[in-house]
Amino acid sequence: MLDQGAPAQQSSHTASARPGAVARLMRRKPVERLVAEGGQGEGGALRRTLGLWQLTMISIGATLGTGIFVVLGEAVPKAGPAVTLSFVIAGLTALFSALSYAELAGTIPVAGSSYSYAYATMGELIAWVCGWCLVLEYGVSVAAVAVGWGEYLNELLDGTIGVTIPDVLSAPPGDGGVFNLPALLVVLLAMAFLLGGAKESARANTVMVAVKIAALVLFCAIGVQGFRSGNYAHFMPLGMAGVSAAGATLFFSYIGFDAASTAGEEAKNAQRDLPRAIMLSLVIVTALYVLVAAVAVGAKPWQRFGDSEAALSQIMREVTGQSFWGTLLAFCAVIAIASVVLTVLYGQTRILFAMSRDGLVPQVFSRVHPRTGTPRANTVIVSLFCGVLAAAIPLGRLADATSIGTLFAFGLVNIAVVVLRRTRPEMPRTFRVPLSPVLPALGFGFCVWMMGSLSAVTWVVFGVWMGVGLVFYFPYGHRRSRLATPAPSEK
């Protein structure tokens, strides 16, 4: 049987025979080829410098941030005190998908994350759709996180020097501003770290993750002093529909756990460490989310959460009656959210790196700088795009658009793990999803359910985004794919 990932060969009966249109759309890239190409780019190679600790910190760094510091304020009005249940539901959805990610990351340790997994199991068109969703997931979430960073920066400035950046320069159009300058600045700051190299960026991220965990523990220690059981009197005022709607929005808070899988070509021992990093980070993040949400709602009536995106800082100020603690939390949040921008931006560049190496996006995204071992041009282009997006679009729209792209990609990963079990059962796996295919099926079902909870506007945006992606794929990616036009050495 011919390898579906191999380039078309001339038939002995018909020299000019070519695969049909459907066959070309479904061509798969062999796992062995994916792994063999790992780290290789145009003009250089990525460097394997990251261990288990750094990979776990990348995953936590990409996950723990805006979801609890900022988006909590938008989710509570949708679910009331039951927002804690929304976090659990979103966490379960993430857990089922994380199990599938862990198995595939240990089996196919490459930079493309779910894009590469789909390419190996479901074919090029599905891989493209998945990769295009990841561009939405990572690229747009960088912008969304950067918007939240500006909110806490103003809190910090107000608490320290008594001034704030005017709305015209700290809010996007539609939210009372013209251009969100802080959002652009934090993206450019993250870009500067990434250009220095993966190892250096991982060190900076580890420090920032330690600060953000300490900040959330401090919030719980102080916020619990203002806890009022009456705030939980009507636990589910908006019903289960509100809980699921808040859960769909809060799923945005979990997207980072898969960031470790984008570091597959820069990990020292990817097959061993990637599954561990993914699962460990998700457990830590979920525990912190539920604890902080429970304390926050207990300390402040849920009806008052819609008045600020810097909710935790305000709660600290109200509970203590002093501005110092709120200012301190705002300082920690500024550092914490910056780490999300850094790690998610890292993930986005590595996914585009993998797609470029396969020929589906322009070659510039896979060029590696020989001195730093980083895709420099890729990093600059993505950073500028995300920075401008962050400066011009409100947070709520960005968070929901990110959630639907993430859920779609996660759903495909749950399918991919089952497909690879059936097509390549002999492959060594350092981690196996228990009770497969039951748990992957549950993961897929949860993703579909939460996608259905998102607004019609979000679905329209998603449909337009997919349409744009297909318009780009057919005239460009489909024709330039490495599987369609192999290098001379591969012919």
Would you place residue 333 in the very low, low, confident or very high pLDDT band (cuts 50, 70, 90)? confident
Outline where 225-267 has alpha helix (H): 239-250
Taken in order 473, 474, 479, 481, is the CA torsion positive or negative? Answer: positive
390, with CB counted inside 10 A (0-12, 13-18, 19+), is buried
Cα(459)–Cα(404) distance, integer angstroms: 8
List the structure tokens of 73: 């304020």
Cα(206)–Cα(454) distance, integer angstroms: 33
Cα(106)–Cα(327) distance, integer angstroms: 42
490, with CB counted inside 10 A (0-12, 13-18, 19+), is exposed
Question: How many CB atoms lie under 10 A from the CB of residue 234?
Answer: 12
Cα(77)–Cα(306) distance, integer angstroms: 6
Taken in order 388, 285, 80, 252, is the CA torsion positive or negative? Answer: positive
Q: Which residue has the higher pLDDT, 462 or 12?
A: 462
Cα(55)–Cα(62) distance, integer angstroms: 11
φ and ψ at residue 321, rounded to 5 degrees: 75, 10
| Mean pLDDT on 253-266 | 81
pLDDT tens, 267-279?
Answer: 888 889 999 999 9
Q: Side-chain half-sphere of 310: how many Cα atoms within 13 Å?
A: 27
pLDDT surpasses 50 at 14: no
Determine the pLDDT at residue 264. Answer: 83
pLDDT tens, 311-330?
Answer: 787 888 888 888 888 788 77
φ and ψ at residue 85, rounded to 5 degrees: -70, -35
pLDDT surpasses 90 at 337: no
Mean pLDDT of the chain: 83
pLDDT surpasses 70 at 13: no
List the structure tokens of 129: 């759709």
pLDDT surpasses 70 at 6: no
Identify whether the C-beta of residue 336 lies closer than 8 Å to the C-beta of residue 65: yes
Would you place residue 490 in the very low, low, confident or very high pLDDT band (cuts 50, 70, 90)? very low
pLDDT surpasses 50 at 412: yes
Angle, vertex CA 157, rays to CA 156 and CA 160, nearest 5: 85
Q: Which residue has the higher pLDDT, 481 or 68?
A: 481
Question: How many CB atoms lie under 10 A from the CB of residue 422?
Answer: 9
Question: How many CB atoms lie under 10 A from the CB of residue 321?
Answer: 8
179, with CB counted inside 10 A (0-12, 13-18, 19+), is middle
Q: Distances from the Cα of 431 to the Cαs of 87, 99, 114, in angstroms?
A: 26, 9, 16
Q: Distances from the Cα of 210 to the Cαs of 75, 206, 333, in angstroms?
A: 26, 6, 12
Would you place residue 170 in the very low, low, confident or very high pLDDT band (cuts 50, 70, 90)? confident
pLDDT tens, 435-457?
Answer: 989 999 999 998 888 788 778 88
φ and ψ at residue 44, rounded to 5 degrees: 175, -175
Would you place residue 489 in the very low, low, confident or very high pLDDT band (cuts 50, 70, 90)? very low
Would you place residue 421 in the very low, low, confident or very high pLDDT band (cuts 50, 70, 90)? very high
Percent of the chain with pLDDT over 70: 90
Would you place residue 488 in the very low, low, confident or very high pLDDT band (cuts 50, 70, 90)? very low
| Mean pLDDT on 62-87 | 82
pLDDT surpasses 70 at 62: yes
| Mean pLDDT on 165-180 | 75
Radius of gyration of the CA atoms of the chain, in A? 22
